């Protein structure tokens, strides 16, 4: 393995004061990535600082930065764990520090932290066209899996926001527990409680709920805060979705559409894992269109687990 430059130190846990340098490096690194992939006209914008704060707080002890001799951020990895599910993103190495072993160190540090935290799934996402990234992650033990397809639809007019976690009042703690029980019933150990609480704390969005006679059968955690810095609020983005059945999945999507209309945004964005083929086709029938694709990769010995019935989607991006 290549030896790191002696002036690189880390990983260290970033503070909120690091958001601006992280943001600049994020935009620079991913713009450079697009350029090397033949898309020279693409410029990746900096992210909304509130989204960065969410990413850092969600990662917790898994938020990692590496610095050069001047104290500038040379690399970072936001490593997240939702119970037994672990994933990395975003992660990047400053363009002038690439090809020197730092990328390998960044990924291995994330894997080591997730293994030590008890994650049974360890994964990440990359662009399918970025063949050198796929080879790089492959050499570190990751295996290409299914695609994550970003699907969007324009929002139709509606009335009422539907059943939301923010409106649960005194029943909120019990409702959060019910959300955890639902994900546990689909895939043992998966827990989105931290994401639910941070979304509420930072006022980034809300969670749409679907109940039936037997209790909670579905929910979707979504954000409406702009993803890019300086942009208006235009989109509702679903980050986590759980449904006990395909019928409950349809009801959850309908609840999200109702919430989007109440939020007065222009479109809805869902990230559909193509391992759920029938859910993908149901979105197409509802008028959703494919916008983008990412390749999901997991460690060979720590794959993503699928429910026997129902749908469990977890967005491995912020």
**Helices and strands, counts by H and E, the chain:** 8, 12
Q: What is the mean pLDDT of residues 73-92?
A: 97
Q: What's the pLDDT score for residue 4?
A: 67
Question: Is 91:107 a contact under the CB 8 Å cutoff?
Answer: yes
Q: What is the pLDDT of residues 224-279, one digit of tens each?
A: 999 999 999 999 999 999 999 999 999 999 999 999 999 999 999 999 999 999 99
Q: Nearest-CA neighbor of 83 among 194, 213, 205? A: 194
Cα separation of 100 and 77, whole Å?
17
Residues in the chain: 318
Cα separation of 156 and 4, whole Å?
53
Q: Which two tokens stand for residue 47?
A: 């992210």
Cα separation of 225 and 203, whole Å?
8
Q: Is the predicted pLDDT of residue 37 greater than 90, yes or no?
A: no
Question: What pTM was computed for the model?
Answer: 0.95
Question: Is 293:129 a contact under the CB 8 Å cutoff?
Answer: no
Give the whole-number percent of the chain exceeding pLDDT 70. Answer: 99
Q: What is each CA distance from 66 to 18, 30, 95, 307, in whole angstroms? A: 12, 17, 14, 37
C-alpha angle 180-181-183 in degrees, rounded to nearest 5: 65
Q: What is the pLDDT of residues 84-130, one digit of tens each?
A: 999 999 999 999 998 779 999 999 999 999 999 999 999 999 999 99
Question: Is 152:267 a contact under the CB 8 Å cutoff?
Answer: yes
Question: Is 82:190 a contact under the CB 8 Å cutoff?
Answer: yes
Q: What's the pLDDT score for residue 1?
A: 43
Q: Is the predicted pLDDT of residue 223 greater than 90, yes or no?
A: yes
Mean of the per-residue pLDDT values of the chain: 95
130: Cα separation from own chain's centroid: 19
């Amino acid at each position: 393995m290549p030896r790191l430059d002696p002036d690189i130190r880390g990983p260290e846990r970033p503070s909120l004061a690091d958001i601006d340098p992280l943001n600049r490096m994020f935009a620079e690194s991913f713009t450079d990535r697009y350029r090397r992939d033949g898309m020279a006209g693409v410029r990746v914008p900096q992210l909304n600082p509130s989204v960065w704060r969410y990413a850092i707080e969600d990662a917790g002890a898994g938020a990692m930065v590496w610095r050069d001799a001047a104290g500038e951020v040379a690399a970072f990895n936001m490593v997240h764990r939702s119970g037994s599910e672990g994933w990395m993103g975003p992660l990047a190495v400053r363009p002038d520090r690439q090809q020197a072993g730092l990328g390998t160190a960044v990924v291995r540090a994330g894997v080591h932290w997730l293994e030590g935290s008890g994650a049974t799934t360890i994964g990440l996402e990359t662009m399918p066209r970025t063949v050198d990234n796929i080879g790089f992650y492959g050499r570190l033990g990751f295996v290409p899996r299914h695609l994550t397809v970003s699907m969007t639809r324009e929002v139709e007019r509606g009335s009422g926001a539907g059943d939301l976690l923010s409106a649960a009042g005194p029943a909120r703690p019990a409702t959060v527990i019910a959300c955890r029980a639902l994900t546990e019933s689909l895939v043992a150990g998966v827990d989105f409680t931290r994401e639910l609480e941070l979304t509420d704390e930072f006022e980034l969005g809300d969670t749409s709920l679907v109940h039936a006679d037997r209790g909670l059968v579905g929910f979707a955690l979504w954000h409406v805060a702009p993803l890019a810095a300086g942009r208006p609020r235009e989109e509702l983005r679903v980050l986590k979705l759980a449904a006990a059945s395909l019928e409950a999945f349809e009801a959850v999507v309908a609840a999200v559409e109702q919430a989007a209309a109440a939020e007065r945004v222009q479109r809805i964005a869902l990230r559909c894992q193509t391992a759920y083929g029938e859910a993908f086709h149901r979105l197409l029938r509802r008028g959703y269109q494919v916008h983008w694709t990412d390749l999901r990769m997991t460690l060979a010995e720590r794959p993503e687990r699928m429910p026997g019935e129902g749908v469990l989607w977890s967005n491995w991006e912020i």
